Amino acid sequence: MIKFILGIIIGVVLALGGLYLYLTRGGLQMSTTSAPLPLERYFAHHALAASIGKAADKQSPVAADDATFLAGAQVYDKNCMGCHGRFGQGPSGLSKRMYPHIPPLLPPAKGVTDDPVGGTHWVVSNGIRFSGMPSFSPKLSDTEIWQVSQLLKNADHLPAPVQEVLRGKQ
Ligand code: HEC
């Protein structure tokens, strides 16, 4: 029994020592151009989904109508466009210089149109740690966050005047 416990302690110490050496000897490259770590995307994806949790099921208090999309487009124009890019243009110039890359959220990209609007509302309110995605609560009101979330959920069928705002033409 003593040998078994000793074995576990030595195993843990070796693992921690290995991790320490890995981190302090440059094993973990912090450059934005370095390749992802093994399983990094898997863990990041699952940790985010678990953090969002039941918030994904929240129903939006603002309707998915043209007035909401127009208001959401104004919010996007002022707060998100610099990073996430304009309508019709794909990723912004900044996108690939950050790690993780900033995902385009407007057509021609699919963005978050397949995700529940409650999940997008959670991401915009709380931001995403280790990524550069800022939290917007309380900078934006909860209504503004729902408006921009509804805009992004419905980004693949927006009316022309809303698209114009998102192209940066108004
Ligand atoms: C400083 C740059 C920056 C700004 C400003 C910014 N974002 Fe982000 N955003 C990011 C990055 C980087 C990610 C990627 C996070 C990741 O991959 O984990 C992201 C991710 C997201 C996602 C998740 C996308 C997905 O595929 O699941 C949503 C939704 C989002 N942002 C919405 C917004 C909205 C809405 C605004 C404006 C209110 C905004 N962002 C402003 C950098 C930014």
Domain boundaries of the chain, sorted by first residue: 63-166
| Ligand 1 atom having least distance to the Cα of 94 | 2
Give the atom of ligand 1 at the shortest distance from the alpha carbon of 101: 12
Indicate whether 170 pLDDT > 70.
no
User: Residue 92 pLDDT more than 90?
Assistant: no
Confidence class of residue 28 from pLDDT cuts 50, 70 and 90? confident
Mean of the pLDDT values across residues 61-69?
Answer: 98
Q: Which residues contact 120 (CB under 8 A, 6 or more apart)?
A: 112, 149, 152, 153
Tell me the mean pLDDT in the region 40-55: 96
CA 31, 34, 38, 40 torsion-angle sign = positive
- DSSP-derived 3-state class of residue 131: coil
Helices (H), the chain: 2-24, 40-52, 66-79, 81-84, 117-126, 142-153, 160-166
Domain 63-166 homologous superfamily, CATH: Cytochrome c-like domain (1.10.760.10)
Cα–Cα distance measured from residue 137 to residue 127, given in angstroms and rounded to the nearest whole number: 9
Cβ 166 under 6 angstroms from ligand 1 = no
Q: Distance between CA atoms of 136 and 60, rounded to whole angstroms? A: 17
Q: Using only C-alpha atoms, what is the Rg of the chain?
A: 21
- Ligand 1 contact via 155 beta carbon (within 6 Å): no
Q: Which residues pair with 133 in a beta bridge?
A: 128
pLDDT, the chain, mean: 95
Tell me, using a 6 A CB cutoff, whether residue 83 lines ligand 1: yes
Beta-carbon contacts of residue 9 (< 8 Å; ≥ 6 apart)? none
Residues written for the chain: 170
> Does residue 24 register a pLDDT over 90?
no
148 lines ligand 1 (CB under 6 A): yes
Q: Residues 1-21: pLDDT tens digits?
A: 899 999 999 999 999 999 898
Average pLDDT over residues 99-127: 97
Q: How far is the CA of 2 from the centre of ligand 1 (A)?
A: 51
* Rounded Cα distance, 19 and 24, in Å: 9
